Chains A and B, each alone.
Chain A
Amino acid sequence: MSDATENTTVASVATEDDELVTKPGILGSIKRFPFSIYPTLMLGIFFFIPFAIMIAISFAHRTTSTYEVGFEFTHYARFFSPLFTTHVWVSVQFAALASLFALVVAVPFTFFISRFRRKSQVVSLVFVLCVLTLSEVIVAYSLSVVLGRQSGLPSLMEAFGFVDRAKSWYPSYGANLFGLSYFNIPFAVLILYPACTRLDRELTEAAQTLGASPVRTFFTIVLPMLEKTLLAAFILLFVFTMGAFVTPIWLGRPEDTMMAQLIADQALGRGNVPFAAALAVFFMLVTLALSLLTVWLRRSDKTGVAS
Chain B
Amino acid sequence: MIKIAKIAFLTTVFTIFTAPLLIVAGVSLNEKKRMFFPPDGLSLRWYPEIFEEAKWAGALTNSVTIAVCAGLLAVSIALPIAYFLWRHRVFYAKALFVLGLVPFALPPVITALGMLIFWSQAGYVGKLENIILAHGVFLVTLPLVMISLGLESIDEELLEAARTMGADGRKLFTSVIFPMVLPYMIAGYAFVLVLSMNEYIISFFLGQHVTITLPVQVLSSLRSGYTPVIAAVAVMFILLAVVIFSLIARFSDLPKLLGAWSPKE
Q: A residues bordering B, Cβ < 8 Å?
A: 19-26, 29-30, 32-33, 35-36, 38-40, 42-43, 46-51, 53-54, 57, 105, 108-109, 112, 114, 118, 121-123, 125-127, 129-131, 133-139, 141-143, 145-146, 148, 150-152, 155, 182, 185-186, 190, 193-194, 197-198, 213-215, 239-240, 242-243, 245-246, 249-250, 259-260, 263-264, 267-268, 273, 276-277, 280, 283-284, 287-288, 291
A46 contacts which chain B residues (CB < 8 A)?
Answer: 115, 118, 133-134, 136-137
A134 and B201 contacting across the interface, CB-CB below 8 Å: no
Cross-interface CB contact of A20 among B90, B106, B238, cutoff 8 Å: B90
**Chain B contacts with A in 89-112, Cβ cutoff 8 A:** 89-94, 96, 99-100, 102-103, 105-110, 112
Give the interface centre of B19, B94, B136, B222 by most chain A CB atoms within 10 Å: B222
Q: B residues bordering A, Cβ < 8 Å?
A: 2, 6, 9-10, 13-14, 16-17, 19-21, 23-24, 26-27, 34-37, 73, 76-78, 80-81, 83-84, 87-94, 96, 99-100, 102-103, 105-110, 112-118, 120-121, 133-134, 136-137, 140, 191, 194-195, 197-201, 204-205, 215, 218-219, 222, 230-231, 233-234, 237-238, 241-242, 245-246, 249, 254-255, 258-261, 263
Cross-interface CB contact of B121 among A53, A197, A215, cutoff 8 Å: A53
| Known contacts A134-B241, A215-B2; A250 and B77 CB within 8 A of each other | no
> How many residue pairs at the A-B interface have CB separations less than 8 Å?
270
A280 and B255 contacting across the interface, CB-CB below 8 Å: no
B118 and A53 contacting across the interface, CB-CB below 8 Å: yes
Tell me the smallest distance from the CB of A217 to a CB of chain B, in Å: 10
A186 contacts which chain B residues (CB < 8 A)?
Answer: 17
Tell me the smallest distance from the CB of A189 to a CB of chain B, in Å: 10
Tell me the smallest distance from the CB of A280 to a CB of chain B, in Å: 5
Tell me the smallest distance from the CB of B265 to a CB of chain A, in Å: 9
| Known contacts A29-B88, A145-B37; A121 and B255 CB within 8 A of each other | yes
A39 and B96 contacting across the interface, CB-CB below 8 Å: yes
A243 and B109 contacting across the interface, CB-CB below 8 Å: yes
Docked pose: A96 CA to B158 CA in angstroms: 48
A264 and B99 contacting across the interface, CB-CB below 8 Å: no
| Known contacts A135-B199, A194-B261; A152 and B77 CB within 8 A of each other | no
A108 and B9 contacting across the interface, CB-CB below 8 Å: yes
Residue of B nearest to A33 (CB): B84
A243 contacts which chain B residues (CB < 8 A)?
Answer: 106-110
A51 contacts which chain B residues (CB < 8 A)?
Answer: 114
Docked pose: A23 CA to B194 CA in angstroms: 37
SS class, residues of chain B in contact with chain A: helix
A135 and B89 contacting across the interface, CB-CB below 8 Å: no
| Known contacts A20-B91, A142-B24, A277-B113; A42 and B237 CB within 8 A of each other | no
Cross-interface CB contact of A53 among B2, B21, B80, B117, cutoff 8 Å: B117
A267 contacts which chain B residues (CB < 8 A)?
Answer: 113, 116, 205
A215 contacts which chain B residues (CB < 8 A)?
Answer: 2
Docked pose: A220 CA to B113 CA in angstroms: 46
Docked pose: A150 CA to B204 CA in angstroms: 29
Tell me the smallest distance from the CB of B188 to a CB of chain A, in Å: 13
Tell me the smallest distance from the CB of B246 to a CB of chain A, in Å: 6
A33 contacts which chain B residues (CB < 8 A)?
Answer: 80, 83-84, 87-88, 93
B255 contacts which chain A residues (CB < 8 A)?
Answer: 118, 121-122, 125, 197
A276 contacts which chain B residues (CB < 8 A)?
Answer: 113
B200 and A135 contacting across the interface, CB-CB below 8 Å: yes
Cross-interface CB contact of A141 among B195, B205, B218, cutoff 8 Å: B218
B245 and A126 contacting across the interface, CB-CB below 8 Å: yes
B23 and A273 contacting across the interface, CB-CB below 8 Å: no
A264 and B80 contacting across the interface, CB-CB below 8 Å: no
Cross-interface CB contact of B2 among A43, A54, A214, A260, cutoff 8 Å: A214
| Known contacts A20-B89, A138-B198, A260-B201; A40 and B20 CB within 8 A of each other | no
Question: A36-B93, A134-B237, A249-B219 provided; 4 other pairs, C-beta below 8 A?
Answer: A26-B92, A42-B77, A142-B20, A259-B109
